[in-house]
Amino acid sequence: MNLEIRDSLIAKMGKESVTDDEEVLAEFAQDITENPAGKPDLVVYAKSAENVRSVLTEANRLSVPVTCVMANTNLGGLAVPQKGGIILNLTKMNKILEVNEEDLYAIIEPGVTWQDISDYLDQNHPGLRFAYPLSPPDSGIVPNCIMDGLANYSLRTSSASAWINAIEAILPSGETLQTGHMAYGSSTPCTNAPFPALHGLFVGFQGSTGVVTKMSVQLWPKKKYVQRLFILAYDVEHAYGLAKQLAKEDIVDDIGTLSGATGKMLFGEYRPTYQDPNEPILFVYIDFSSNYENDFACKKEIIADLVGQWRAKGAKFDGPLDLEDLVRLEPKFAKFAKFPTRLDFLLDHPGGGLTWVGTYGPTSRFEEGYKKGAEILAKYGLPPVVVCRPMQGSHFGVLRWITVFDRNDEKDVEKVRAVNRDLADMAVELGFFPYKTPQWAWDRYADRINPTFRRLVRDVRKLMDPKGILNPGHLDL
């Protein structure tokens, strides 16, 4: 370890903010995935943008690697330090700096979690809502935005980078970059337009171009009438056909599908591989809302009519079922009643491992992706745990396969590595590509990626971070 940088940062930030304690270092050596472990030399807890500047300027001066971490729950292994150096922990930068009800945005620091914003809006701005993913409530909003994640409003709003109005970021040089309407000091950074979209220099770059210390994100009005419905489907084509039709009708806020195996895991089965012919294959879930009772009732009627039309064509559906009714019958369904939520059946099992192949691509190939993915998982003795969701008005969608495993069993770890490779190969052939992309996927598909694209990504990283200190070993093209 570079003792000079440790002593320098202690002098600048205080001993309580800098540690090389072995137990603390071990916490950040690996995440919950099968991706290779690495070991940091130092963990630094930033409390301000000035702290971030201190870390980056010293690390840049001494050519010490820096990996930014918030909750470390990203399923691409992207916050695991591959070259040692500093873990820059941003959890203490957790202020909600502003909420503007009229212009529908919030300004937040990188440590603000989904639970933080949910609680803050409920208490102080009950007329506003945010978009929430199925990731743990203590994970971060800013990382999800710059990594193009998704949430339960993505049918209307696209992936999370589309929520960004403006950012403030610290570069390895110590310079501060502001984008959008922050760039000229506007007191209302409600949009990026008409400025060049320089926030894109940080979106998808996996923390390799700078550290975002402030972000203006979009909010949306909360509607008076809100309902979540579940439909139990017994045929893949019918389930996805209904979901895709509803997504294009412009009457629902969110729609997606969960495999029947996911429901079994909710009820305590670890790896439910058996499928009874009388069990539903997929659950279609639907969120819709309105401020007007007659409009709300009309939307509900249209949903019921469309389900009826599919039944008339031979589809076997149960429902629509109101989630509130399901919760009364079985309290475990409350996990899906209000977001953010902690899906403990995926996170809190004895093996401790969770991985996915999450991909973005054409909704027209959901059915084929589901079937081929289920065949791959069955070959490895694993259940078809899958989430699909049309996004941005059905212009594209997410196809995501999830696997739980035992991190302490090397054979199980190797199994999920193999199955993930096979799932990714299948998805890429169908026109999808992994998001929050792990390094093994970049390596595996390098020859498919346009060489000019690869060169420009490398050039941008070199321009922003000449010494290559930020998150080395990731996004290596």
Kindly report the CATH number assigned to the domain that includes residue 143.
Answer: 3.30.465.10
Find the length of the chain. Answer: 477
Give the separation between CA 43 and CA 23, rounded to whole angstroms.
11
439 falls within a domain: no
Domain match, 113 and 214 both: yes
pLDDT tens digits, 15-36: 999 999 999 999 999 999 999 9
Write down the pLDDT at residue 89: 98
pLDDT tens digits, 182-223: 999 999 999 999 999 999 999 999 999 999 999 999 999 999
Give the separation between CA 10 and CA 4, rounded to whole angstroms.
10
Write down the pLDDT at residue 345: 87
DSSP character string of 274-307: ---TTS-SEEEEEEEEESSHHHHHHHHHHHHHHH
174 falls within a domain: yes
Number of compact structural domains in the chain: 3
Domain match, 126 and 258 both: no
456 falls within a domain: no
**pTM score, two decimals?**
0.96
Write down the pLDDT at residue 410: 96
109 falls within a domain: yes
Domain match, 385 and 411 both: yes
Q: Nearest CA to 421 among 353, 355, 351, 352?
A: 355
| CATH code (residue 402) | 3.40.462.10
Domain match, 253 and 392 both: yes
pLDDT tens digits, 262-302: 989 988 899 999 989 899 999 999 999 999 999 999 999 99
Write down the pLDDT at residue 1: 65
| CATH code (residue 68) | 3.30.43.10
Give the three-class secondary structure for 379: helix
Domain match, 136 and 185 both: yes
Domain match, 369 and 419 both: yes
* Boundary-marking domain end, from 196, 221, 246: 221
Q: Nearest CA to 52 among 163, 150, 177?
A: 177
454 falls within a domain: no
**Three-state DSSP string of the chain:** CCHHHHHHHHHHHCHHHEECCHHHHHHCCCCCCCCCCCCCCEEEECCCHHHHHHHHHHHHHHCCCEEEECCCCCCCCCCCCCCCCEEEECCCCCCEEEEECCCCEEEECCCCEHHHHHHHHHHHCCCEECCCCCCCCCCEHHHHHHCCCCCCCHHHHCCHHHHEEEEEEECCCCCEEECHHHHHCCCCCCCCCCCCCHHHHCCCCCCCCCEEEEEEEECEECCCEEEEEEEEECCHHHHHHHHHHHHHCCCCCEEEEEEHHHHHHHCCCCCCCCCCCCCCCEEEEEEEEECCHHHHHHHHHHHHHHHHHHHHCCCCEEEEEEHHHHHHHCHHHHHHCCCCCCCHHHHCCCCEEEEEEEEEECHHHHHHHHHHHHHHHHHCCCCCCEEEEEEHHHCEEEEEEEEEEECCCHHHHHHHHHHHHHHHHHHHHCCCEECCCCHHHHHHCHHHCCHHHHHHHHHHHHHHCCCCCECCCCCCC
* Boundary-marking domain end, from 46, 66, 89: 89
363 falls within a domain: yes
Average pLDDT of the chain? 96
pLDDT average, residue stretch 332-341? 87
* Boundary-marking domain end, from 163, 197, 221: 221
The structure tokens 């339960």 sit at 152
Give the separation between CA 258 and CA 149, rounded to whole angstroms.
18
pLDDT bucket at 332, cuts 50 / 70 / 90: confident
Domain match, 263 and 183 both: no
Domain span at residue 410 reads 225-434
Domain match, 83 and 144 both: no
Domain match, 403 and 322 both: yes
Statement: residue 93 has pLDDT above 80: yes
Domain match, 83 and 150 both: no
Lowest mean pLDDT among 79-93, 117-131, 232-246, 266-280: 266-280
453 falls within a domain: no
DSSP code at position 183: G
Give the three-class secondary structure for 401: strand
pLDDT tens digits, 157-169: 999 999 999 999 9
Domain match, 212 and 229 both: no
270 falls within a domain: yes
Domain match, 166 and 263 both: no
CB 284 within 8 A of CB 427: no
